[in-house]
Amino acid sequence: MAIPFTFRQLSYFVAVAQQGSVSKAAEVLHVSQPSVSIAITQLEGLLEQPLFQRHRGQGVSLTPGGEALLKEARHILTLSHNLLARQRQDDSEVEGQLVLSCFRDIAPYYLPRLVSRFERRYPGIRVLMQEEDLAGVSRALEQGRAELALSYDLGLPQEIDAEVLDELLPHALLPTTHPRAASPSLSLTELAAERLILQDLPLTREYFLSLFWHRGLKPDIVHTTASFELQRGLVAHGHGVALSCTRPAGDRSYDGAALACVPLADEVQPQRVVLAHSRRFPLSVPARLFLGLVAGQ
């Protein structure tokens, strides 16, 4: 029996599913938007079912049939790429792309260095980075929109394997004018009495609040932010204090105002920075090579 669809149609379908948009998929694939639209329409006709729901001005989302096909399509494409790579017997000549989801707060500290090393070693592989909050990273792995994820080991799906890259302890952020800015450490009890500026993102919010809750403390939250840098800026200008696991090389906000980073006196579990992937989906050659590079650093 002849196979009615092509690898190109499957690769275009996977790209649209990953990008959530026909136009964005066309940009990534370096082809015209009509070419992608035609391939998707042909594939839907061959399979006799819609694969995407079209949302005017808001891209596309997978139908139940599309979600089922995504896993199989990625498996087929992965097998074909792996076969070609084995025949070449030269990983440096491997071509393709790798979709990497990353938690936006820690991405700037790890990804530029890792991606630079990877692309120098494997110039034929393009890395597509998707910045997300922690919940978004989990969804990207669960839905197969990303093969790998750089994140904290927090709220990730159960069916994952993870390579630990780093362990970070939370610390307090204070304005330099604060009486305790030069202290060697601060307790969570002391911080609970301060005006807290909380980063209000899914899972991030729960993690930092749990540090207080587990000790029977209720912090006084005066501001919430969706941005790590806005949180730092508010602290630097005296609006309150904050907790963070991430510490840039310089203790200054975006506008140059100084702030103090003080270790916690309490014993808390460090946050693990991990490179994770789901066992539900077979790894492509680019994903395996990236994992190998990270494991060998």
pLDDT class of 92 with cuts at 50, 70, 90: low
Residue 170 has a pLDDT of: 93
CA atoms within 13 A on the CB side of 286: 24
Please provide the distance, in angstroms rounded to a whole number, between the alpha carbons at the two ends of the chain: 47
The domains found in the chain, sorted by start residue, are: 1-89 (1.10.10.10), 91-168+270-297 (3.40.190.10), 170-266 (3.40.190.10)
Whether the pTM exceeds 0.75: the reply is no
C-alpha span between 259 and 124 (Å, rounded): 43
pLDDT in the model for residue 90: 63
Looking at residue 218, its amino acid is: K
Q: Is the dihedral of CA 157, 158, 159, 162 positive or negative?
A: positive
Q: What is the mean pLDDT of residues 79-106?
A: 77
**22-29 vs 7-19: helix axis angle to the nearest 10?**
120
Residue 93 has pLDDT above 80, yes or no: no
Residue closest to 98 by CA, chosen among 152, 148, 160: 148
Task: Check whether 43 has a pLDDT greater than 70.
Answer: yes
Please check the confidence at residue 1 and state whether its pLDDT lies above 60: no
Cα distance between residue 218 and residue 293, in whole Å:
43
Q: How many residues does the chain have?
A: 297
pLDDT digits (tens, 9 = 90+) for 242-268: 999 988 888 888 899 999 999 999 999
Sort strands 52-54 and 60-62 into parallel, antiparallel or unpaired: antiparallel
pLDDT score for 201:
85
pLDDT digits (tens, 9 = 90+) for 124-134: 888 999 999 88
Query: Using CA atoms, how far apart are residues 279 and 266, in angstroms rounded to an integer?
Result: 36
pLDDT at 269: 85
Average pLDDT, the chain: 89
Lowest-pLDDT range of 46-50, 98-102, 200-204: 200-204
Compute the Cα dihedral for 224, 225, 231, 234 and give only its sign: negative
Q: pLDDT tens across 65-86, in order?
A: 998 898 888 878 877 776 776 6
The H or E element containing residue 221 is strand 220-225
